[in-house]
Structure 1
Amino acid sequence: MATIDRRATTLALAHALSAAERGLAVIPLSRTKLPALRSPHRDDPDPLPCHGECGRFGHGVYDASTDPRRIRELFAAAPWATGYGIACGLHPHHLIGVDLDTKSGTDSSVALRELALRHLFTIPDTVVVLTPSGGRHLWLSGPPDVVVPNSASRLAPGIDIRGAGGYLVGPGSRTGHGVYETAPGTSRLAPAPCPSELLRLLLPPPRTHHPGPSTAGRQGQGPGQGQGQGLVQFVLAAHEGQRNTRLFWAACRAHENGIGPQLTAQLVQAAVRTGLTEREARSTIASAARMTAPADRRH
């Protein structure tokens, strides 16, 4: 059995490195499809929010990387891993996963086709991953300035969405139920752009914004500040349970667009207004800066 596990780990690492060559950030997964490395803070009496700032592995999707050296280190720390996860929402693909489940008692593929007919969009040819249970994962690419949240059956019964802060089980992964495989004819495709009509359905409804006395003071902002106001508003619209995730991905977008330092104060202020402490907000933003830094500056 140990020989089979070692072979599965070796294959998973090989597939993960291949995915990283395509710009997909990866983490090792166990047979349960969960991140293979446990949190280093699990025994702390009063753990503080940490997305990897401590420098140790075990922060789930926040460990994801395209750096081959880091990926090998992750798998070396998890020799029991038999699969890998692909982080969604990251540059350059800004991956969105459409998970068509078969366990909900409904035909999720039919539900997606009905949505497409109703809202006048077509699912383009793209990467399709077949799951051991008979489901399918469709890979789509999102715009760099849009953060798609995770959801379960919100779009339709049996259709789950993997977006910011989520991950997809990569093809070639072995789980307790079988192996994930790329559908014939799709392995060489790049994730296709998400249709705009579908993208609109995936985003949370915007909150009504009432301009206040400070609106006039925003005139005359520099290019970086004006470009980042959408990210600030996205953080302000966060509900409990999604505040850290929204802040993290807004900060990632800001750093990818070169306005991270200029926007930090506004993002912190917005996060505090949603209920985070300033310390939590700055910690999350620092993690985003580390995640989006060039590979040679992450170590």
Structure 2
Amino acid sequence: MATIDRQATALALAHALSAAERGLAVIPLSRTKLPALRSPHRDDPDPTAAACHGECGRFGHGVYDATTDPRRIRELFSAAPWTTGYGIACGLYPHHLIGIDIDTTSGTGSSAALRELALRHLFAIPETVVVLTPSGGRHLWLSGPPDVVVPNSASRLAPGVDVRGAGGYLVGPGSRTEHGVYGTAPGTAHLAPAPCPSTLLRLLAPPPRLRPATPSPAGRHGRGLVQFVLAAHEGQRNTRLFWAACRAYENGFGPDLAPALIDAAVRTGLTEREARSTIASAARTTGQRP
């Protein structure tokens, strides 16, 4: 059973309500930085229930529970009294938040890599909200246009630089986790997320990918596997992706379906790196080359 720290929960709720006043949709998080409420469909034998994004009216749908409604936020926190933090959903109106997550402890030189990227492509990161992580990393908050969907990614933009976009969330300042407390950098708490530079926005867009016709061996079965992955919730994503990839490789169209499976997995919240690793593991398990 999760340990309840009532003071940490009260502080997290206060910070979450403050963020909601600024138009940022929030969800409660546990000390592990994961959504505090588990899926209500985790033991549901009906496979169609996994596609629910909150239509059932219950809590536990991860980022799909995110809201700016104070009453709803209080209900979410009441349902999870072990909450010690909150997540801010990315990609939603009015800010269409994009998070640039710079890991300064990985040894990748991520800060330098981002500066080099900016110099090479002639853009500058504007003055904006900066959240400091307990490990020494930084989250830069940027605002995107409503008609552009920025996907989540890991180290695609630059080594050690992850992106949180549509379907993802950022740990909000004031959250307490197993490793410490998140807080805003001095002089940035009062700022609104700055507009993302257009050049950077183009770099954040999904990489171009040729979409060949679905191979005849896959057909409806291949599309069904992709839908199976898309229906995954928190705690199911890797398992569903691994199962679907194994079936694809066993039926001879794993390499052809892999791009669509990766797309689907990223849309559910996995990073591209995690998705590729899971599919490679499925290929090895079925005796194929990744």
TM-score (norm 1): 0.70
The residue that corresponds to 2:36 in the other structure is 36
2:12 corresponds to: 12
* Residue 209 of structure 1: how far off its partner (Å): 9.0
Match of 2:195 in 1: 193
Could you say which residue in structure 2 is the equivalent of 1:86?
Answer: 88
AA aligned to 1:10 is A
Unaligned runs of 5+ in 1: 211-237, 248-299
Question: 1:3 offset after TM fit, Å?
Answer: 10
Structure-1 residue corresponding to 2:22: 22
Correspondence for 2:263 among 242, 246, 257: 242
2:166 to 164, 167, 173: 164
CA-atom RMSD, angstroms? 2.1
Q: Determine the C-alpha separation between the residues in 2 that align with 1:59 and 1:239.
A: 23
Spell out the pairing of 1:253-272 with structure 2 (5 A cutoff). none
What residue identity is the alignment partner of 1:167? Y
Q: Is the CA contact 2:105–2:136 (under 8 Å) kept in the aligned structure 1?
A: no
Change (3 A) 1:165 1:59: same
The equivalent of 2:234 in structure 1 is none
Displacement of 1:151? 0.1
Counterpart check, 1:121 vs 2:123: yes
Per-residue CA deviation, residues 34-83 of structure 1 (Å, 9 max, x unaligned), is 00000001111243211111110000000000000000000000000000
Deviation at residue 239 of structure 1 after TM alignment: 2.8
Aligned mates of 1:172, 1:244 — CA distance in 2: 30
Cα distance change, pair 115–165 in 1 and its aligned pair in 2 (3 A):
same
Aligned residue pairs: how many? 219
How many angstroms does 1:193 deviate by? 0.4
**Partners of 2:159 and 2:42 in 1: how far apart?**
34
Report the equivalent of 2:280.
none
**Other structure's SS at 1:240 match:** helix
Deviations 1:92-148 (A, max 9, x none): 000000000123212211111000000000000000000000000000000110000
- Give the AA of the match of 1:184: P
Q: Summarize the Cα distance change of 1:135–1:45 in structure 2 as closer, same or farther, 3 Å threshold.
A: same
- Structure 2, gaps ≥5 residues long: 213-258, 269-290
Q: Tell me which residue corresponds to 2:142.
A: 140
Q: What residue identity is the alignment partner of 1:34?
A: L
- Residues 140 and 191 in structure 1, CA contact (< 8 A), matched pair in contact too: yes
Q: Distance in 1 between matches of 2:57 and 2:26?
A: 17
- Letter paired with 1:242: D
Taking structure 2 as the reference length, the TM-score comes to 0.72
